Amino acid sequence: MNEAKLMATEQWPYEVNYGKENEISADVLVLGGGVAGCHAAISAAKTGAKVAIVDKGPVIRSGSGGAGVDHWHCALKNPCCTITMDDMLDFFKAHPGNFTSEYGNGITFTILCQESYEALLDMEGMGIKFRDEEDEFVGADFRDDKTKIMFAYDYESKITIRVRQGAVIKPALHKELKRLGVAIYDRIMVTSLLTKGGIQGERVIGATGLNTRTGEFYIFKAKASILAMAQPKGIWVFSTELIGSNMSHDDPNCVGDGHAMAWHAGAAFTNMEGSMPSSGTFRYPAYGTGNSGNTWYACTIVDANGKEVPWVDKDGRVLKSVSERYRPAKGQKFHIHNPPPGTPPEYAGPLLIPDLPERIKKGEFVQPFYADLPSMPEHERRAIFGLMVGNEGKTRIPIYEVYTQAGFDPDKDLLQSNVLPPDRCGTGSPWNSIGPPQWRETMFVSGGGVVFDWDLRTTLEGLYAAGNQLACGGNHAGAACTGRYAGRKASEYALEVEEQVIERTQVDREKDRIYAPVKRKNGIGWKEFQAGICRIMQDYCGEYKDAETLQMGMKWLNSIRESEGEKVIAKNPHDLVRTLECYTRLTVGKMIINASLARKASHRSLDFKRLDYPETNPPEWEKFLTIRTDKGECKVGELPYNYWLLPPYAPTYKENYEKHCGL
Ligand SMILES: Cc1cc2nc3c(=O)[nH]c(=O)nc-3n(C[C@H](O)[C@H](O)[C@H](O)COP(=O)(O)OP(=O)(O)OC[C@H]3O[C@@H](n4cnc5c(N)ncnc54)[C@H](O)[C@@H]3O)c2cc1C
């Protein structure tokens, strides 16, 4: 290790000890300390288990929720909500084939609806003031005066809650972890899972890690482990120039390590063939330009001449007042704001006129467009630029504080939207920039992930999962709920089983793998390697796919692994972490190509287009395809779309939840 140590000293502020071993033992090991991981660790610790949580960043702020949350989904059990679990299940059933949204899996959907409000109350117990306790919004349409809860999007059904102190939610979780005595391991990149006897497909009995500052090695022994490292990112597009807010919408530490390590351990995955268009890194900071979606819902939009763009309901009826944008249309029990294409009309919320692109082409509206905050009712204006932009992830400092300090005044100023070709202009959701067709990314929060059961257990014994690492993932509230649930289940299991002896050869193999780049003297840097991997994914696994091209992509990924992959050098622990992330992305790329080859049909919600199988959503392909690796071979399987209600499970959501929830 000495030579490597020498190389590591170049301008590196921390003492480097590559290979030095640290051994930790826990009942429940939580891998990833984002939203899901923190809730999992807290709930496991509350059952009396000895818990350790490991994160690549600092748990106090890490993860996509680390910079904030402005709205809390599906808080059905809040005292003002008019929607029942059965109403939500009707909505869920109206969505068959919607594989990728947070409404894509019956198990996580049920857990979200059952526990969302409780999870928010947990946060209140940890000091997060989500209500309008300061009476800032008295008289607002969206405020309930008795409970002081403030709602978003649909003011009648009152399902979604605005979170007044969302920007500091992670520090509150961190404090609670400490209070409960959870052992926190910051800045440790988990690199692999350890299995019984070191055998793929066997019970998971721990994990290995690398300190991102010192390069030291960690061996975590655990009776049960929980995957909470979110979903892969940066698989198709890589830029060495654009950093900061733009580098990735999600936390840039989330690259798919959890997927790669579970894959190598033999866990099954689904939906890995799904992806969506991407702006690459060439976008404006999220919510930093004028728009009308999500955080900015339902801001009035005007064109360059000040002409207002009308809002319409599901039937195309023009809405006359701002207030109607926040209410279900006639005949609807509730609405989904900014409904994605395919949302059944019974649930589709209002949109800006859908034929806006044609009207721009005809000259009826002139770009650029602007978010017209000054024309919004005062409470709505302050809710958007204040309550929401002030607490949404990644907007508090770069948008809210920087714009305000620069003199932006929502009472007087309009904020310009992106200028885009007419057919790219938003018809409801933000004016997202989209790059060329070969630029893709995994689905936002709800992409492919591990297969799981009603215990949130993966297909491997001893391995549970939560948050966006689950297939169909979810959102902040979903991560909190599945985290709590997985924490309980993992703890229940851990308290019944014995700790296993770690297979030393598995540890040694992993040490050889991860330290190889620091032992090389000459070679290429991780950036070249990463750029090459992304180029392969763009060229051979872009928007339109066919078998031959995908197979060529697989060949090139294998080739780059054997050639450039053996030449990458790392001069310090930072380089080493980035290099290991390249190997992760390469593995994830192969998983995506394997899954893409397996689905021999096009699929709408997976945004999956096979040129050689152009028929979209043929009934025989309305199923989850699963993939797993077995001694280097990809095994393809399938699961019916409603596997969660089929034997061995009970036929209803309620029975399954009550039997498994562990409460
Ligand atoms: C800008 C933005 C705004 C959002 N706003 C909202 C909102 O208002 N409402 C809402 O419902 N949802 C929102 N979301 C989505 C929400 O933040 C995510 O759904 C949620 O964070 C998912 O939780 P998670 O724990 O699965 O992932 P994360 O919170 O991202 O946590 C994953 C953790 O895994 C760690 N990790 C990754 N790899 C490793 C490794 N190898 N070793 C150790 N640790 C590792 C990361 O450091 C990270 O801390 C937003 C997301 C973004 C990006």
What would the pLDDT profile of 291-317 be if each residue is shown by its tens digit?
A: 998 999 999 999 999 999 999 999 999
DSSP per-residue string spanning 160-185: EEE-TTGGGHHHHHHHHHHHTTPEEE
Q: Which tokens sit at 73?
A: 């989904």
Beta bridge partners of 269: 450, 627
Q: Which tokens sit at 54?
A: 């490991």
Mean pLDDT lowest among 247-261, 557-571, 574-588: 247-261
What is the SS3 assignment for 649?
coil
Which residues lie closer than 8 Å to 427 by C-beta, 6 or more apart?
A: 351, 352, 353, 354, 356, 357
Ligand 1 atom closest to 66 (CA): 29
Block residue for tokens 């091209």? 549
At 578-589, the pLDDT tens digits run: 999 999 999 999
Give mean pLDDT, residues 507-526. Answer: 97
* Residues having CB within 6 Å of any atom of ligand 1: 32-37, 54-57, 62-65, 69-71, 73, 189-190, 228-230, 249-251, 253-254, 257-258, 286, 392-394, 445, 467-469, 474-477, 479
pLDDT value of residue 494: 98
Rounded to the nearest angstrom, the gap between the alpha carbon of residue 405 and the centroid of all alpha carbons in its chain is 31
Mean of all residue pLDDT scores within the chain: 93
pLDDT value of residue 96: 63
Residue 364 pLDDT class (50, 70, 90 cuts) = very high
Instruction: Give phi and psi for 303, each to the nearest 5.
Output: -90, -175
Give mean pLDDT, residues 461-468. Answer: 98
Protein residue closest via CA to atom 48 of ligand 1:
63
Ligand 1 centre from 63 Cα, in Å?
Answer: 4
Mutation probe of ligand 1 site: the residue of 188, 475, 514, 581 with most atoms within 8 A of C-beta: 475
Protein residue closest via CA to atom 19 of ligand 1:
475
Ligand 1 centre from 233 Cα, in Å?
Answer: 11
pLDDT above 90 as % of the chain: 85
Ligand 1 atom closest to 64 (CA): 30
- Residue 188 scores a pLDDT above 80: yes
Ligand 1 centre from 182 Cα, in Å?
Answer: 20
Mutation probe of ligand 1 site: the residue of 229, 452, 587 with most atoms within 8 A of C-beta: 229
Which residues lie closer than 8 Å to 429 by C-beta, 6 or more apart?
A: 291, 293, 294, 338
Helices vs strands, H then E, count in the chain? 15, 23
- Residue 63 scores a pLDDT above 70: yes
Q: Which domains does the chain have, with CATH numbers?
A: 22-125+156-278+439-494 (3.50.50.60), 294-424 (no CATH), 504-616 (1.20.58.100)
Alpha carbons 508 and 504: distance in angstroms, whole number: 6
Mutation probe of ligand 1 site: the residue of 30, 38, 64 with most atoms within 8 A of C-beta: 64
